[in-house]
A and B are shown apart, each in its own frame.
Chain A
Amino acid sequence: MTGRTGLIFDDGVRNEPRTHVFIIGVGKYIYGEGAQSTLVAGGLIQLTSPPKSASAIANWFLEEFRNPDHPLGTLTMLVSDKETATFDGPGGAQGIPEANLENVKKSMSDWRALFEGHPDNMLVFYFCGHGVSFGQKAALLLSDFGNEENSYEPAIDLDTLRGTLRNAQPGKQLFLIDCCRSKADSFYVHEATIGTRVLSIPPGIRPNGAIAKQCVLFPTIDGEQSFGLADDVSVFTSCFLDAVRFAAFDDATGKWVSSTTLILNALEQLVGCRLSESMRRRPVPTALDAVSFEFNHIDAPEKARSIVTIDDAVPWPTATFTASDLGEAGHPPLERATSKNDHFRCCIFELNFGKWEFSGNPETKPPSIVSTQRTVVRPVAYVKLGVAE
């Protein structure tokens, strides 16, 4: 049990640059849909994806994140789930504090003590749960949002958090805001203020000439279903994990390094492959002040993921997709069976580098799917197959 701070990993190093991660996943809304629902929060449905998504992000940081300039220093996590959340971390199974306002404030204060030690630290803030987007503002709703005493306070005002963290020492700050664009937006159209300050850092303490580089990434996906399959990782988070595992890398400098800009571009591509155009088409920015900085490293890839989808003009079919090796190695063809009921409109092949032909054979024609050839030599290849009547 970690106590209220939610600190589940700490390498103990404070005098060298580190990455400090803060994760919030809110699936259970105490005053949302259900027995204790209130007028303010009663319209918020309970979510199953955020606890899973928060755990997936935590596991990735603990097991796979590599950045020689900013290795993982600490990881803090707060989760609200149907039952008391636990996490099987480096120290064994640990209870995770609930993501309510009191705990978040306390953990943020503790987090500050961890990250303020070095100006070259990197911060990552991740939130998955209900969010409200109103105008240029956004509020991230915590588990006790809508209570009778201070209904609108248990939420994080994103601008306030960003503004506050600009006064912090760490010069690189990545915000991953995994909130679907749900009906919550329309519940609160008359409210000018939702959320509160969860952290305070007075201005003027940063070193002269130093500016905090902030990058805020969030999805532009419609509806609760965009959180993905029930009890599974959300679309945005799974796309982010794909991005930092293989899809957002470049070897222009000789090493395979991701950057926040490459992650943003990869997210756009990956979400575009998974979801139909009607779900992803929202007229909102996908990034705010997307300042670019290096994020993580991987070894030189030996295989590639080919993400195969078809033209948006037609529904995702029940079909068999095939990847055929056109090179000298002559690897046997790989097949993927798909269903029109698939949650995502893509299938993924893990392939050796080389020249491949991609084709699809739908159960029902027309339309037929037009095959294409691709040279697969980078960690990811996006393949969009055309259709013909």
Chain B
Amino acid sequence: MIDFGIAILAGSPNGAVKRGAIVSVTQLADIDGKRLPNSIRETAVVDIVFDVLPTFHRFILPEHGTYEVSVRHPGGIEVREVSVGDETEISIQVNPQAAKILTSGSVSTERYPGLGPRIGRYSGWLSGLPTLTTKSFPPDVGPVFNLVGSTAIEMLPPTFHSFRATGLKQQEDNFGGRFGPSNPLVFEGLRYEQSNSVYLDLRGQGHGKETVSRWLSCFRPEGRDLVSVPWNWLPLLEEADREVRIELTSSRSPSGRTLPTRVEVHDSRWGALIEYVAIGRMADAALVADSLLQGDVGPVGRFQGGSLAEWALYGKLKEPMVAVLGGIILVSNVKDGRNERWDRWLRNLAHWFPGIPDAAAIYGYRKLQVGEIDKATEWLRRSVQSGLPFFSATFRLLSLGFSQLEDQEYLARISAAVAAVDATQPFTVIRVPWGSEQ
């Protein structure tokens, strides 16, 4: 047996993704160059690292010979041919962000810890409260944003039927500012009371005084972006082995058009799952998820041998948003309609978190898969009634679900939002062109 090492390198710090690459090594020929039938293939999920000293994942291969190394990553696929025997280790550089429209700038190092009335730590270029009556913008800056308040009637949070008319007015205590291509808006954490309040909202028990608005309204010359900030993705308490930040970015097309605001969640633990779900590669997401369980982030003991998606659901009380992502991966990968042991957890997720519309949608979608039409209708409708989903993939579940049910009433109800959500992003960002506010 031959020990062969492969390292997957990112070209920039933002490209590093834990368990971000699916590496397959296929034997093409033996040491004499003779072609082999039924080629042996080894597959592993490997970290994409940005480091001077790369970490090599070890593959145990049967013999010397010519092998093809295929690296699937969120930005595409890279293929190399290697001669195992002549070489014992290789490094392959990938660009996992190639599929995205990226900002040209980097993370701002400026910090203004005292300026945010509701946000514990953030960075970005703050220019005070923006004037929202104008739609003209200096050419070198990006969208103006403000957090959508919810105390005044005209500022009610967006819903399926009202999102176009939401949040045009500015409240005095709103947090606002401006970010641009070289000055992303970065959220790294909330105060404990705020995190707890957000969590209670998801549980349907939100009466906390420190409520943080879920919605940011970002104003561009081309229209508004309603950004659902996934606050609850930020851990309640800091974890030593995990870095999380939410970043709002803005960029321009080559023609100078301001592109829609992007929400990037950088999570050293779960980032790969977000990336694969965002590009619709659900089978790859499941593979990555199972690998994460076997690595150093999975729980030991009780759930060893289960999939991470199952664990994510089991861990729903601690990290309900991760659990929702796990649920999306699960229902997207089922092979038949037989009951699964995670069905019970899906049910609990939907019951325990009425403030997460995605949870009800996933449960309803699952009921449709197992042929329980009435239950499916009930839960899919309940999802719509409880608000706009946190994940863009959930809009697709709803659309497919109601289409399958031939539920014309609810298809019509969700149609505008499904048509307006940005499908290129994992988290919900809804585009509202100027002139469509009514």
Contacts and interface: CB of A to CB of B under 8 A. Distances in A.
Size bin of chain A's contact surface? 35 or more
B336 A211 contact: yes
A290 B403 contact: no
Interface stretch (A22-30, A228-236, A279-287): A279-287
B336 A209 contact: yes
Given A211-B337, A251-B38, A375 B81 contact: yes
A287 B99 CA distance: 13
Given A202-B406, A265-B77, A377-B28, A288 B35 contact: no
Contact of B436 (A166, A190, A282, A286): A190
A377 B35 contact: yes
B98 A288 contact: no
B371 A159 contact: no
Interface in B371-396: 371, 373, 392, 395-396
Interface string A339-371: 000000000000001110000000000000000
A246 B427 CA distance: 38
B99 A283 contact: yes
A204 interface: yes
B336 A377 contact: no
Nearest to A268: B77
Interface in B246-280: 278-280
B399 interface: yes
A189 interface: yes
Nearest to A382: B79
Contacts of B336: 209-211
Given A159-B396, A354-B33, A203 B38 contact: no
B280 A203 contact: no
Nearest to B339: A209
A252 B421 contact: no
A209 B336 CA distance: 6
B281 A290 contact: yes
Nearest to B435: A190
A318 interface: no
A136 B395 contact: yes
Contacts of A197: 406
B399 A290 contact: no
Nearest to B102: A283
A209 B337 CA distance: 4
Interface string B69-104: 000100011010100000000000000001111000
Judged by DSSP, the binding face of B is mixed
Judged by DSSP, the binding face of A is loop
A284 B396 contact: no
B264 to A, nearest CB: 12
A33 B101 CA distance: 31
A375 B368 CA distance: 49
B114 to A, nearest CB: 36
Contacts of A190: 433, 435-436
Nearest to B78: A384
A388 interface: no
B420 interface: yes
A332 to B, nearest CB: 19
B311 interface: no
A209 B424 contact: no
B395 A135 contact: yes
B29 interface: yes
Given A210-B336, A269-B77, A285 B423 contact: yes
Interface in A221-277: 250-254, 261, 265, 268-269, 272
A203 B99 contact: no
B337 A166 contact: no
Contacts of B424: 283-285
Interface in B403-438: 403-406, 411-412, 415-424, 431, 433, 435-436
Contact of A292 (B33, B79, B283, B415): B283
Contact of B418 (A136, A202, A327): A136
A272 B99 CA distance: 12
A290 B280 contact: yes
A313 to B, nearest CB: 13
B369 A211 contact: yes
B416 to A, nearest CB: 4
Nearest to B36: A377
A382 B70 CA distance: 11
Contact of B28 (A164, A284, A287, A378): A378
Contacts of A292: 283
Contact of B419 (A160, A192, A254): A192
B2 interface: no
Interface string B56-74: 0000000000101000100
B435 A162 contact: no
Contact of A203 (B66, B392, B404, B423): B404
A251 B406 contact: no
A261 B24 CA distance: 14
Shortest beta-carbon contacts, A-B, top 10: A163-B403, A285-B280, A192-B416, A163-B404, A377-B35, A283-B424, A135-B419, A375-B66, A209-B337, A159-B399
24 contacts: A135-B420, A135-B423, A137-B415, A160-B403, A162-B400, A189-B431, A189-B436, A193-B419, A200-B406, A209-B338, A211-B334, A251-B38, A251-B39, A252-B39, A252-B41, A265-B77, A285-B278, A285-B279, A285-B424, A289-B280, A327-B33, A375-B29, A377-B28, A378-B68
Given A159-B396, A261-B283, A375-B29, 10 more contacts: A135-B417, A136-B421, A137-B415, A192-B419, A208-B337, A211-B336, A251-B39, A283-B424, A285-B279, A377-B36
Interface of A: 133-137, 157, 159-164, 166-167, 189-193, 197, 200, 202-204, 206, 208-211, 213, 250-254, 261, 265, 268-269, 272, 281-292, 300, 327, 353-355, 374-375, 377-378, 382
Interface of B: 28-29, 33, 35-39, 41, 66, 68, 72, 76-77, 79, 81, 98-101, 278-283, 332-338, 368-369, 371, 373, 392, 395-396, 399-406, 411-412, 415-424, 431, 433, 435-436
